[in-house]
Amino acid sequence: MRLILCGPPGAGKGTQCKRIVDKYALTHLSSGDILRAERAAGTELGKKAQGYMDTGALVPDDVIIGMMIGAIKKAAGNYVLDGFPRTLPQAEGLDKALREAGEKVDAIVNLLVDDEVIEKRLTGRRSCPTCGAVYHIENLPPKVDGQCDKSCGQLVQRDDDKPDVVRNRLKTYHEQTEAVVGFYEAEGRSILNINADRDIDEVTTAVFAALNKIDG
């Protein structure tokens, strides 16, 4: 099964990807995770991408396409793409590469959440720079305000979760990434629109129900 998971930043793509991976035995290919790993390792790709990621802008298409095609080839035809493709050139590049390999995307899972909800989700997140634990000032607050529950110390707000950056990320999503869904719809691919503004387990149930129809 070859899937693409779409949706605005903060829609819960990472969580749903992990559950899809577990149920259908797929490889989770997250462009964000791969890029962050490259940045942490101090590679040339990581250095090139850092400036774009810290401002909420998109990393250039040619860099992302090459990186993701390489990861897709290793997945041997069973994967869910998280955070890719984000632009029409990326979608076209992916489609071309898959056609050359005699493959195609089976379905696009499209998580739908209003901008106002996304802003609250992202700007309220706080993380521990030591252990990586993630909290939310309203939905999942730490036991002591501003402090990690594991006694690691002060929690921080990631640069890409700050209000101005979140708004820029949403603007970028609407201007560029939404068109990807339209591209696949025009290609006749299955678009599975899922309301993601509800309990995580309810979203998962809806995703599995939609995917079972495709898989069946």
- Rounded CA gap, 131 and 149, in Å? 10
Considering 18, 19, 120, 158, which one is annotated as catalytic? 158
By residue count, the chain amounts to 216
- Rounded CA gap, 82 and 124, in Å? 22
Q: What are phi and psi of 30, to 5 degrees?
A: -100, 115
Residue 131 corresponds to which tokens in the numbers above?
A: 């252990």
Considering 36, 39, 169, 189, which one is annotated as catalytic? 169
CB count within 10 Å of CB 129 equals 13
158: annotated active-site residue: yes
Residue 69 corresponds to which tokens in the numbers above?
A: 């095609």
Considering 19, 39, 96, 125, which one is annotated as catalytic? 125
Residue among 161, 162, 129 at smallest CA distance from 148? 129
198: annotated active-site residue: no
- Rounded CA gap, 81 and 158, in Å? 24
- Rounded CA gap, 165 and 160, in Å? 6
13: annotated active-site residue: yes
- Rounded CA gap, 160 and 75, in Å? 29
Residue among 20, 173, 202 at smallest CA distance from 181? 173
The set of catalytic residues is 13, 86, 125, 158, 169
